[in-house]
Homo-oligomer: A and B are copies of this chain.
Amino acid sequence: MDEIEVEYCTEADLDDPVFVEGLPGVGHVGKLVAEHLIEEADSTRIARVYSEHFPPQVGIDEDGVASLAHAEIYAIETEGRDLVVLTGDHQAGDSMGHYHLAAAFLDEAERQGADTVYALGGVPTGELIEEYSVLGAVSEESIREELEAVGVEFRSEEPTGGIVGTSGLLLGLGGRRGFDAACLMGETSGYLVDPKSARAVLEILQDRLNFEVPFEALDDRAEEMEEVINRLQDMEEAQSPGSGEDLRYIG
């Protein structure tokens, strides 16, 4: 196997598509959006990307069949802009691997004719969220206005620590290679998988690219997460029975 190996599945014939990345990260926001798009819209897998920078690992499916760690690229045709969606279960395990994989992903974006890249993710606030804002960062100032028009917020020097991993590099390397690249980051507590934050990012994406997918599946997952949180709170109360009432006020 080469350092990075792209296995092509089906040829796609997309019209001026946008490259959308949703790999695992804070609150799994980006991955939730990407998976929702793949399930709810008219999607075709066009490639698998294998790499020795992914962990030496296989995943096991419902039939006991193993698949080597990889990322997947899907073509999605919409009534608005077409999409090329990158998702998967892993990010690179080392710094050099991050650079090489991000470069390979941009090669695939180019191959599909995309000149715009949206890297999706979450930005941790450390607190439970009432209203789910979406924070933006761009490769060039000229892209900012069209994103602000659909509700993306831009805040000076935020996120404070910059953007790390594939999303950051798609912005940084993508910008240097001439892509119009933006990162759309849903605010999320950072403690849990956050389908509500994913919905906020998806709404922005739909507005910007003029397509629509049903939200039900994402809302269902949000409800499941609510139940998980409630169960966790109940367990905590059960463990410290005397302080139960106080906890209800706080939580």
A residues in contact (CB < 8 Å) with B: 1, 50, 52-69, 92-96, 98-100, 102-103, 136-141, 144, 154-159, 162-166, 168-169, 171-173, 175-176, 181, 183
Which residues of B have CB within 8 Å of A64?
136-138, 141, 144, 154-156, 158
Q: Which of B58, B168, B175 contacts A163, CB < 8 Å? A: B58
Which residues of B have CB within 8 Å of A181?
66
A69 to B173 CA separation, bound complex (whole angstroms): 10
Whose C-beta in chain B lies nearest to the C-beta of A172? Answer: B68
- B95 pairs with A95, CB closer than 8 A: no
Given A62-B157, A64-B155, A137-B66, CB of A164 within 8 Å of CB of B95: no
- B159 pairs with A68, CB closer than 8 A: no
- B154 pairs with A95, CB closer than 8 A: no
Q: Which of B67, B165, B166, B175 contacts A172, CB < 8 Å? A: B67
- 20 intermolecular pairs with C-beta atoms under 8 Å apart: A52-B99, A56-B92, A56-B98, A56-B165, A57-B172, A58-B137, A58-B169, A59-B162, A60-B137, A60-B157, A60-B162, A61-B156, A61-B157, A63-B156, A64-B136, A64-B144, A64-B156, A65-B137, A65-B138, A68-B173
Which residues of B have CB within 8 Å of A169?
56-58, 68
Nearest CB of B to A115, in Å: 17
Give the number of times this chain occurs in the complex, counting copies. Answer: 4
Nearest CB of B to A190, in Å: 18
A138 to B62 CA separation, bound complex (whole angstroms): 11
Whose C-beta in chain B lies nearest to the C-beta of A89? Answer: B162
- A66 pairs with B139, CB closer than 8 A: yes
Which residues of B have CB within 8 Å of A137?
58, 60, 64-66
A184 to B134 CA separation, bound complex (whole angstroms): 45
Which residues of B have CB within 8 Å of A171?
58, 66, 68
Whose C-beta in chain B lies nearest to the C-beta of A66? Answer: B171
Which residues of B have CB within 8 Å of A183?
66
Which residues of B have CB within 8 Å of A103?
1
Which residues of B have CB within 8 Å of A66?
137-139, 162-163, 168, 171-172, 175, 181, 183
- A60 pairs with B163, CB closer than 8 A: yes
- B69 pairs with A172, CB closer than 8 A: yes
A156 to B59 CA separation, bound complex (whole angstroms): 11
Nearest CB of B to A68, in Å: 3
Nearest CB of B to A216, in Å: 24
